[in-house]
Structure 1
Amino acid sequence: MNLFEISITILALILTSSFFSISEIALAGARRIKLKLLSESGDTRADKILHLQENSADFFATSQIGLNAVAILGGSVGESALRPYFQAFLGKFYQGAWLENLAFFTSFIFVTLLFILFADLIPKRIAMISPEKMALAVINPVLVLIKICQPLAWIINGLANLIFRIFKVNTTREENITFDDVSAIVDAGAEAGVVLQQEQHFIENVFELEERTVPSSMTLRDDVVFFTLGEPAESIRQKIAEYPYSKFLVCNGTIDHVIGYVDTKDILVKIMSNQAQIQLNETTIRNVLIIPDTLKLSELLDRFRSSKEKFAVVMNEYALVVGVITLSDIMMTVMGDWVTPIDDEQQIIQRDEKSWLIDGVTPIENVMHALDIDEFPDWDNYETIAGFMMYKLRKIPRPADFVEYEGYKFEVVDIDHHKIDQLLVTQLPVQMKEIIE
């Protein structure tokens, strides 16, 4: 063969090898989510790719047959055909005993570099840039090649399966999508600007409903405003005026003896009708949903949906009321500041770049978000930042008691009847943080 025929042969082999390289990367790397969207839009090639990914043994066998056959053929043909030309070129500069060996190594390195660069590296990088697009382009020719190589692929797969069984290797591909997978996709979307920061916060909070329990979002027992049976009308009017809640508990003496709840609008209707007496009786008191404090927020959403209620009383294992929770409380957990009234007292107040004032009843999840802390130790044992302090100190805290964790100093600054009312959180200097770690 002359130099032109040799060049055409090598070019054909490189193109064939590059096709197998592109096919291997593109079909293996094509994302199922995008392929399903293409399938739903009517592209039948996407269905073929999805089926091939689920039954990939024949494809990989065919790909390896093609790649290895072309590589072996290209090496033998290219090296032997180009060696005389390299020998003639090198002979102009050297005529010693090593001339033939130099020509062999030179032609071998040249052909190898051509295949590495144009048949392997560049095609695979192109396939990685847009795997779905490339997979759609090559799927039909690949299916034809699989049918042609079916007998040999069957033998190779049989030997591979035998080896897998001997070494007990599980070849089943898992396609389960976890929260971490979704979170990683959302984070990538936020970095790319596709997902807004606020939208990212919403999505993460929605998934947190599976992790957070009811006490993390409820109104605590000490803050619950309730009516008692036989409470004077003037007292009822005063509480409605002072606390603009839509619903109030009705209790028999103490908060632990819950009878039901009243809707504020029912009482306001009587006030607007100029009724002198406002009595809490069967016509105004409604049955209240009572839930255990061990429920997850996602489970409570199901309870609200099935019962058609938006208000619930939270009880512990001793049948004592620990708080109340509404559908709005859950929405505030998801939406954050978007649904929090502006004039509400903030639980986390940033004083400057490195210090925060935090209420003791602040849910631990909110503190994690505010301080960018991934996890608190054994946080299944407590719900609030006050609980974290008691868990770490192993005692009833006093003012000036502190805990250092994750580069922050959590210091008790106010106590109200043995209850942590407020904490001062300061970020430690870098040197101090390294010493703690």
Structure 2
Amino acid sequence: MMILLVLAAGFLSLTEIAFAGARKIKLKLLAEAGDERALKVMALQMHSAEFFAASQIGLNAIAILGGILGEGALRPFFIAWIARVYDGPSLENIGFASSFLFVTFVFILFADLMPKRLAMIAPERIAVAVIRPVLVFIRLCKPLTWVLNHLANLIFRIFKVDMTREDSITFDEISAAVEAGAQAGVLQKQEQHFIENVFELESRSVASAMTNRDSIVHLTLTETEESIRQKIATHSKFPVCDGTIDRVIGYIDTRDILVRLLNKQSLFQLNESSIRTVLIIPDTLTLSELLDKFRASKETFAVVINEYALVMGVITLSDIMLTVMGRWGSPLDEDDQIMQREDGSWLIDGSTPVGEVKRTVGIESLPEEDHYETAAGFMMYMLRKVPKRTDSVVYQGVKFEVLDVDHYRIDQILVRHVPKVDSEAG
């Protein structure tokens, strides 16, 4: 009888953890594969009050019954064993305590601890396997569960407790799942970075991926043929400006120029027929919002302006893709924004996004990240001035030192881990 009670309690403990731990995503995959039991498990999770009420009824009833039967059945045996070494006035009490502890130990081990640990290994598979007998058990306990659930709901309403289950998934949860997949070998390290970079598009502004104003190569309406030939050798898209760079009237794709060359047309006359309409965007857009605009306009090139209508930079669809791909997106080593040296330190370009910097040097967060987006912005924010060569910042055991400055622009930063003593001194 005791064995049956232990098995019954173990079954209920197993199902409790299995249904609570079964993940909705995996259950959906099982359902899509044709397993109808997965749909029943999801339905039970949505209305779990009846199951947990029935489970608690069963567990408590078994525990009480097991204590009564087990203690009464085992106490004579314990008394007989103990009497061999002790036959005093406390023999009955010692026999009672021994049988009680033994029954408690058996129930904890075989009816609680072991079933729950088993259920945590594969909750979805176990939940699907036991759903049918569980539904039968719930129907048998329905009268009692109805009473208990109504009493519980009444108490929750009195204390204004919201019992709606939250099934939304946050970025942190997805990131943790991706990291766990990488650690388990399901995802490669670079695939983990790709996925994380895709989600970062929602928070990163276009300024973090665009070509800055100082690096823009543009054409004017009076551009000479020789100048155009030189520029198309190094770039593929050019904003066309009326005099100054802040008066953008469109853009030209290198392919259009090559077509004119092949057709032996003159390059001197840039007119409406050869200039494409350019997409003008504010610098406050995120990369995700820009992707939507590219999709809607069917364009792949945009000019970024600030609130004063001054051109801040240009950005292409390829720039966004390189942001997702990270360093793997660059075909040439010299194009890498981050290069690790033999001594373990890093040379980091000032325009490198802070997310890539954190991943590289192993820092979880930087102070006040809303105020900057690049390594150069981090240095300017921390130093509270326009940096010059040899200026440095030490944060969380990592030293950031300015190596090269070009017209107040930070070109390169040396980053290395420093001993704790040096870090505290800095």
TM-score class normalised by the smaller sequence: over 0.9
Q: Percent identity?
A: 63
Q: Which residue of 2 aligns with 1:204?
A: 196
Q: Name whichever of 373-382 and 255-264 sits farther off.
A: 373-382
Q: Name whichever of 257-266 and 270-279 sits farther off.
A: 270-279
CA contact (8 A) 1:289 1:311 kept: yes
Q: Describe how 1:55-70 pairs up with structure 2 within 5 A.
A: 55-70=47-62
Supply the AA of the counterpart residue of 1:107.
S
SS in 1 for 2:413: strand
Equivalent position to 2:171, from 179, 196, 201: 179
Q: Which residue of 2 aligns with 1:339?
A: 329
Q: Which residue of 2 aligns with 1:292?
A: 282
Are 1:194 and 2:186 matched, yes or no? Answer: yes
Equivalent position to 1:362, from 330, 349, 352: 352
Equivalent position to 1:259, from 249, 257, 277: 249
Q: Which residue of 2 aligns with 1:106?
A: 98
Q: Which residue of 2 aligns with 1:97?
A: 89
> CA distance change for structure 1 residues 91 and 355 in 2, over 3 Å: closer, same or farther?
closer
Q: Describe how 1:181-330 pairs up with structure 2 within 5 A.
A: 181-241=173-233, 243=234, 245-275=235-265, 277-330=267-320
Cα distance, 1:28 vs. partner? 1.3
CA contact (8 A) 2:223 2:268 kept: no
CA contact (8 A) 1:25 1:124 kept: yes
Distance 1:417 1:82 in 2: 89
Q: Which residue of 2 aligns with 1:413?
A: 403
Q: Deviations over 1:279-304 (max 9, x none)?
A: 21122111100000000000000000
CA contact (8 A) 2:330 2:336 kept: no
Cα distance, 1:247 vs. partner? 1.2
Supply the AA of the counterpart residue of 1:255.
I
Distance 1:128 1:14 in 2: 19
Equivalent position to 2:393, from 403, 408, 429: 403
TM-score normalised by the chain length of structure 2: 0.95
CA contact (8 A) 2:6 2:111 kept: yes
Cα distance, 1:425 vs. partner? 2.1
CA contact (8 A) 1:270 1:278 kept: no
Q: Name whichever of 95-104 and 41-50 sits farther off.
A: 95-104
> CA distance change for structure 1 residues 282 and 65 in 2, over 3 Å: closer, same or farther?
same
Q: Deviations over 1:258-295 (max 9, x none)?
A: 11111111211222333455421122111100000000
Q: Name whichever of 358-367 and 388-397 sits farther off.
A: 358-367
Distance 1:345 1:110 in 2: 70
Distance 1:339 1:94 in 2: 80
Distance 2:350 2:14 in 1: 58
Distance 2:353 2:393 in 1: 17
Are 1:433 and 2:409 matched, yes or no? Answer: no
Are 1:155 and 2:147 matched, yes or no? Answer: yes
Supply the AA of the counterpart residue of 1:70.
I
Cα distance, 1:319 vs. partner? 0.4
Q: Deviations over 1:3-31 (max 9, x none)?
A: xxxxxx11111111111111111111111
Q: Which residue of 2 aligns with 1:393?
A: 383
> CA distance change for structure 1 residues 392 and 36 in 2, over 3 Å: closer, same or farther?
same
> CA distance change for structure 1 residues 434 and 158 in 2, over 3 Å: closer, same or farther?
farther
Distance 2:356 2:315 in 1: 17
Cα distance, 1:365 vs. partner? 2.6
Distance 1:293 1:229 in 2: 26
SS in 1 for 2:335: coil
Distance 1:276 1:299 in 2: 38
Distance 2:256 2:26 in 1: 52
CA contact (8 A) 1:363 1:385 kept: yes
Q: Which runs of 4+ in 1 moved over 6 A?
A: none
SS in 2 for 1:250: strand
Are 1:32 and 2:24 matched, yes or no? Answer: yes
CA contact (8 A) 1:233 1:279 kept: no
Equivalent position to 1:138, from 115, 120, 130: 130
SS in 1 for 2:341: strand
Q: Which residue of 2 aligns with 1:51?
A: 43
Matched pairs, number: 426
Are 1:128 and 2:120 matched, yes or no? Answer: yes
CA contact (8 A) 2:327 2:337 kept: no
SS in 2 for 1:409: strand
Distance 1:212 1:59 in 2: 45
> CA distance change for structure 1 residues 253 and 178 in 2, over 3 Å: closer, same or farther?
same
Q: Deviations over 1:354-382 (max 9, x none)?
A: 42222223332332232222222222222
Distance 2:19 2:403 in 1: 60
> CA distance change for structure 1 residues 434 and 47 in 2, over 3 Å: closer, same or farther?
farther
Cα distance, 1:344 vs. partner? 4.6
Cα distance, 1:228 vs. partner? 0.8
Cα distance, 1:40 vs. partner? 1.4
CA contact (8 A) 2:222 2:268 kept: no
Distance 1:102 1:61 in 2: 36
Distance 2:304 2:158 in 1: 56
SS in 2 for 1:262: strand
TM-score normalised by the chain length of structure 1: 0.93
Cα distance, 1:191 vs. partner? 0.6
CA contact (8 A) 1:221 1:323 kept: yes
Q: Which residue of 2 aligns with 1:84?
A: 76
Are 1:118 and 2:118 matched, yes or no? Answer: no
CA contact (8 A) 1:267 1:278 kept: no
Supply the AA of the counterpart residue of 2:311.
V
> CA distance change for structure 1 residues 109 and 260 in 2, over 3 Å: closer, same or farther?
same
